[in-house]
Amino acid sequence: MKLTHITATIALSLFTAAAVSAAPQVYLNKNLGFNVPGYNYKQSEFPCDIDSTLVESLVKRSKAAGIQMEAVSTADKIQNGVIPVLAIDIEQLVLNEKFRFGSTSTSNLPRVQVTAALIAKNLENGFVTAKHSCAIATLNEFTPSSEILDMGTTATVCSATRKCLDDLSKDIVQWTASQVK
């Protein structure tokens, strides 16, 4: 009886290890932004640490989705040619009609909009892109305040933005999983 239990435990361990090693691996360029020459745009200009918050959320969510995602910043890993690379460009952060970061838009809906690119040699053209966005909060949740980071409630713009980024990371991970599995 004990031998059967031990054998079953070992078999389950080996199966689990094989399943983990079979999970798709993706590198995430943690230096957000595509860094296109001549494109004057710095991701670090955005408030609320949205770049590092998004990277952290993507790595966390990818584990639950069965993807081995590793945030990297070195050229040797990004240019490896074997493991797909996920690159994110934060295109826009709109807090309200006065505080807008990134590309301009006529909408004042508080939101974050990104373009995600999965770069892999097995994809047609070598890459695929998709736009993703999330609403930070509905406009009626904002109340007049003298402080941009204070929404006039117990929430701050930064805490609401982090919640938005968590939702956004779910969409990006689902999209990435559909491309690599």
66 contacts: CB under 8 Å, gap ≥ 6: 23, 24, 177, 181
Pairing of strands 85-94, 100-102: antiparallel
The pair of three-digit structure tokens given for residue 44, joined into one six-digit string:
């670090």
| Residue 36 DSSP SS3 | coil
DSSP 60: H
Question: Do the beta carbons of residue 158 and residue 149 sit within 8 Å?
Answer: yes
pLDDT digits (tens, 9 = 90+) for 97-121: 777 777 766 777 788 999 999 999 8
In this predicted structure, the answer to whether residue 128 has a pLDDT above a threshold of 80 is: yes
The pair of three-digit structure tokens given for residue 119, joined into one six-digit string:
């770069």
Confidence class for position 6, pLDDT limits 50, 70, 90 = very low
The pair of three-digit structure tokens given for residue 144, joined into one six-digit string:
């007049």
Quickly list DSSP for 137-153. Answer: --GGG----SSTTB-SS
What is the pTM for the complete model shown?
A: 0.75
**CA of residue 99 relative to chain centroid, distance:** 23
In whole angstroms, what is the distance from residue 170 CA to residue 179 CA? 14
Burial 91-109 (b: 16+ CB within 10 A, else e): bbbbbeeeebbbeeeeeee
Question: What percent of the chain is predicted at pLDDT more than 70?
Answer: 69
In whole angstroms, what is the distance from residue 29 CA to residue 43 CA? 13
On the 0-12 / 13-18 / 19+ scale of CB atoms within 10 A, 181 is exposed
Supply the pLDDT for residue 109. 79
In this predicted structure, the answer to whether residue 52 has a pLDDT above a threshold of 50 is: yes
Pairing of strands 68-72, 25-29: parallel
Instruction: Write down the residue that tokens 């079953």 correspond to.
Output: 8
Domains and CATH numbers, the chain: 24-180 (3.30.160)
